[in-house]
Amino acid sequence: MSHEIRIDKTKSPKAKPDQSNLGFGKYFTDHMFIMDYTEGTGWHDARIVPYGPLELDPATAALHYGQAIFEGMKAYNTQDGRILLFRPHKNMQRINVTNARMCIPQIDEDFFVDAVKALVNIDRDWIPASQGTSLYIRPFIFATDAVLGVHPSNTYKFIVILSPVGAYYSTGINPVKIYVENSYVRAVKGGTGFAKTCGNYAASLKAQAEAAEKGYIQVLWLDGVEKKYVEEVGSMNVFFKINGEVITPSLEGSILPGITRDSTIHLLKSMGIKVTERRIAIQEVFDAHKAGLLEEAFGTGTAAVISPIGELNWNGTGIIVNNGCTGELSSHIYDTITGIQSGELPDTFNWTVEVK
Amino acid sequence: MSHEIRIDKTKSPKAKPDQSNLGFGKYFTDHMFIMDYTEGTGWHDARIVPYGPLELDPATAALHYGQAIFEGMKAYNTQDGRILLFRPHKNMQRINVTNARMCIPQIDEDFFVDAVKALVNIDRDWIPASQGTSLYIRPFIFATDAVLGVHPSNTYKFIVILSPVGAYYSTGINPVKIYVENSYVRAVKGGTGFAKTCGNYAASLKAQAEAAEKGYIQVLWLDGVEKKYVEEVGSMNVFFKINGEVITPSLEGSILPGITRDSTIHLLKSMGIKVTERRIAIQEVFDAHKAGLLEEAFGTGTAAVISPIGELNWNGTGIIVNNGCTGELSSHIYDTITGIQSGELPDTFNWTVEVK
């Protein structure tokens, strides 16, 4: 499959936001990439056009039945003036895994990496330069049939929008308080937990809101069957360092296969640290803490990269991890991944892709 | 809370579709109801305007994180020229139950019933008259913040659209073949199964598509924890008549509390038939069939009202229910509910509400 990308540049570029106060996903660049899918024709009409509103029929399937998926990735300005993407093919591969689960047609992964590159290149002046900032890239696909029957849509839109984002932690990485969720369930094996589909995120809002009211920044999800095994933290994967070994829940269908998770595992292995993917019970984490063996805990994700866990509360029992401080390993992984992403460290794993 | 509804009538009414070939949710009427929500202001700017496309920012939260819900209800033309809604307050109550789960602000139930009445009244010429047809009413709410952070939106749209729909079964009600789903899970306790939110429907598409390939019209969902207990059939509630008693799964958080389900239970009780809401294992259904005690099985829902089950396949074992014919009780419930809905039978339960 090969496509031409039609380019229609904006005639009225927007003012760029203050780089010191970007926040996350609040500002959008001058252009967006759009491509349509029609059953029989396939993906067609690839174009980069001025960022602006979509005209959608009120019966648009995605608004009613949630057949919609997304990805999240970032572009970085390096100090020597290059623009780097971080493992973009992994995102496009995951789109196809998600699409298969959600009955959305497959995409041409190479072409869509090229499309992202073309879009980022056009809006390259929007990539912020200050420490910790980046250009967040949001590819998403949604069902556009304007019919109310519950069935896979015959038409879709693939859109990529770009948002300059600030450092996730304005004062460097800081440990967060996490509430172990016992009532609400994020996902269960046989469901859509491994897919990056919109419904997973809507389902998580209530638990998140209730934890926030109790003073916790995120929830730690337990499995939906036994409420026993650790799944994710908020919308991040989670790692525990116990007695020198790093353990992360194995991917068994209910957990998102995070790209930062994968990068972290590679990095740990290259450091000679034992890393194990397996089911881990929350009781085991608490027992390890009691025995003085829980050394660090952290979440991994595209937005925050590494988010150290300073406190865990489960059924009213709170434990403080690593005296509430960011662990040495958490810091090292954060520094290494962000260093590779921003071109400050050598790309020993061949993870970055330059936008030219 | 009291609201004025601003009315802006279309200047170019559409041609009405052929009533003999309406299908489901394919045609929409001339008008729609819209109301906006803004944090701090609440629901405001209620209006009935010409049906037409919505202008939505590409970052619209509902398209990314699925914070969107809907309802389904019907309006009927009676032979004596009245327009009837069927238990509309139940739909609006359920919206609020769904909203609470999905972190969407509550609505004023009475006002929204009035809004539906006003909209149906304006498009009353669109209500089809022939046997089995009706005007399908689709209220829905979705998050409209154009920000990529995962959190409850501060702004929403409540929209109601109307679609003239045909008889669900063109040749009367017919038993369908159902595949008992062992791999995919629709919902689990602690999740969003009881809420009418978009993600539940997207999650169901894959199993539905695979069952269709095997020649089955719908799947029967089992519970996500033990894959043992019956939950729903497709997007309908399910009933089994076993040895004179009617059993339907109890509402324990993973099942939609259907309004046709509730109406069916009331009707059965009024007929002096024993009806029990409890967990029912699929094994029990198959055992009852083996013992010659499984008399009928049927689904209930707004679209089809009653959908008799003629065949069930579980792990490769097929059973034929009631010789593959529509059961006497299934027929009777269908005739009674549709009779009340269309004004042909006396409304002994006070279920209908007239649109004046």
pLDDT average, residue stretch B90-106: 98
User: How near does any CA of chain A get to the CA of B339, in Å?
Assistant: 24
pLDDT of residue A284: 98
Inter-chain touch A189–B184, beta carbons under 8 Å = no
> Closest-CA residue in chain A for B145?
A26
pLDDT average, residue stretch A110-126: 97
Q: At which residue do the structure tokens 């498009």 appear? A: B123
Where residue A169 falls among pLDDT bands split at 50, 70, 90?
low
Read off the pLDDT of residues B133-163 as tens digits, 9 standing for 90 and up. Answer: 999 999 999 999 999 999 999 999 999 999 9
Inter-chain touch A202–B67, beta carbons under 8 Å = yes
CATH of domain B6-167: 3.30.470.10
Listed in sequence order, the residues at least 6 apart from B162 whose beta carbon sits closer than 8 Å to its beta carbon are B28, B29, B31, B32, B75, B119, B120, B123, B126, B135, B136, B137, B138
Listed in sequence order, the residues at least 6 apart from B187 whose beta carbon sits closer than 8 Å to its beta carbon are A191, B193, B194, B200, B203, B221, B224, B231, B254, B255
pLDDT of residue A131: 83
pLDDT average, residue stretch A217-238: 96
pLDDT of residue A157: 98
Residue-averaged pLDDT of chain B: 96
Reference A31, options A162, A156, A164, A158; nearest CA is A162
pLDDT of residue B156: 98
Residues of B in contact with A149 (CB under 8 A): 23-26
pLDDT average, residue stretch A237-260: 97
Higher pLDDT, A58 or A2: A58
> Closest-CA residue in chain B for A208?
B151
Inter-chain touch A199–B198, beta carbons under 8 Å = yes
Most B CBs within 10 A among A150, A204, A206, A254, hence the mutation to make, goes to A150
pLDDT of residue B243: 98
> Rounded CA gap, A18 and B309, in Å?
62
The residue extents of the domains of chain A are 6-167, 176-341
Residues of A in contact with B103 (CB under 8 A): 205-206, 209
pLDDT at A73 over 70: yes
Angle subtended by helix axes A88-101 and A109-122, to nearest 10 = 130
3-state secondary structure of A91: helix
Q: How many other C-beta atoms lie within 10 A of the C-beta of residue B261?
A: 23
Most B CBs within 10 A among A71, A99, A181, A198, hence the mutation to make, goes to A198
Read off the pLDDT of residues B245-303 as tens digits, 9 standing for 90 and up. Answer: 999 999 999 999 999 999 999 999 999 999 999 999 999 999 999 999 999 999 999 98
pLDDT of residue A171: 63
Q: Do the beta carbons of residue B192 and residue B150 sit within 8 Å? A: no
Residues of A in contact with B138 (CB under 8 A): 59, 64, 148
pLDDT of residue B2: 57
Inter-chain touch B24–A148, beta carbons under 8 Å = yes
Read off the pLDDT of residues B180-210 as tens digits, 9 standing for 90 and up. Answer: 999 999 999 999 999 999 999 999 999 999 9
Residue in B136, B148, B206 closest to A163 by CB: B148
pLDDT of residue B3: 77
User: How near does any CA of chain B get to the CA of A52, in Å?
Assistant: 7
> Rounded CA gap, B156 and A64, in Å?
14
> Rounded CA gap, A56 and B57, in Å?
10
Going along B92-244, which residue ranges are E strands? 134-143, 155-165, 176-181, 218-222, 230-233, 237-242
Where residue A2 falls among pLDDT bands split at 50, 70, 90?
low
Cite the DSSP H helix spans in chain A: 61-65, 88-101, 109-122, 198-213, 259-270, 282-290, 328-341
What's the angle, vertex CA A154, arms to CA A152 and CA A159, rounded to 5?
A: 95
Higher pLDDT, B37 or B19: B37
pLDDT average, residue stretch A130-150: 94
Inter-chain touch A140–B24, beta carbons under 8 Å = no
Inter-chain touch B62–A63, beta carbons under 8 Å = yes
Inter-chain touch A192–B202, beta carbons under 8 Å = yes
Where residue A295 falls among pLDDT bands split at 50, 70, 90?
very high
Residues of B in contact with A185 (CB under 8 A): 188-191
pLDDT of residue B18: 93
Read off the pLDDT of residues A8-39 as tens digits, 9 standing for 90 and up. Answer: 999 999 999 999 889 999 999 999 999 999 99
pLDDT at B171 over 80: no
pLDDT of residue B174: 87
Residues of A in contact with B233 (CB under 8 A): none
pLDDT of residue A3: 76
pLDDT average, residue stretch A247-259: 97
Retrieve residue B349's tokens: 């339960």
Q: Do the beta carbons of residue A70 and residue A77 sit within 8 Å? A: no
> Rounded CA gap, B109 and B218, in Å?
33
pLDDT of residue A289: 98
Q: If you count residue pairs, one on A and one on B, with CB atoms under 8 Å apart, how many are there?
A: 218
Q: Do the beta carbons of residue A211 and residue A233 sit within 8 Å? A: no
The fold for domain A176-341 equals D-amino Acid Aminotransferase; Chain A, domain 2 (3.20.10)
> Rounded CA gap, B166 and A242, in Å?
62
